[in-house]
Amino acid sequence: MFSEDLRAKIRVSYAQFQNYRQVGRNFGVSHQTVKYIVSNQCNEQKKRRGPERKLGRHEEMAINRVIRKSIQEGVRISGKIIQQNCNLDHVSDRTARRTMSRIGFKYKIIKQSLLLTQKHKLRRVELAKNRLESQHPW
């Protein structure tokens, strides 16, 4: 990227010589670079390729906060939960998951398993003991 000062010098030099190659030789840049600098007066940044993102920076920051908070609390998080907590009614949960991955969080589908509480486990042991003590005919 060239400084604005150098760009101005190239434009002035081109106005004097009217030759891209000669100006390029004087400043040590290619003639195509001189042509680009002269023809494009604006210094705007080029747009990013691809479709525009649905979520802005402030929404990405909100998602980041919700994820960090849930990690500290030890709560499982999903795209749907993020969508509800951040009030993202205008996007799908898949967009929320895509944003999570862009921020740097890895999205995995958790294994399906029975979530037994301590009470459930004690009850199962109790039933097994009763079954053994009652001498059930197997």
- pLDDT tens, 45-90? 667 788 888 888 899 999 999 988 988 998 888 888 888 888 888 9
Q: What pLDDT score was predicted for residue 42? A: 60
Residue carrying the six token digits 């434009």: 11
SS3 content of the chain, % helix, strand, coil (to 5): 60, 0, 40
Domain coordinates of the chain in residue numbers?
A: 4-39, 57-103
Calculate what percentage of the chain has a pLDDT beyond 90: 28
Rg (CA), the chain: 32
Residue carrying the six token digits 């509480």: 117
Q: Which residues, other chains included, contact 38 with Cβ-Cβ below 8 Å and sequence gap of 6+?
A: 10, 11, 14, 20
Residue 122 CB-half CA count within 13 A? 3
The answer to whether 3 touches 13, Cβ cutoff 8 Å, is no
CA–CA distance from 120 to each of 74, 123, 132 (Å)? 22, 5, 19
Confidence band of 138 (pLDDT split at 50, 70, 90) = low
Q: Taking CA 46 as the corner, what is the angle to CA 15 and CA 28, rounded to the nearest 5 degrees? A: 40
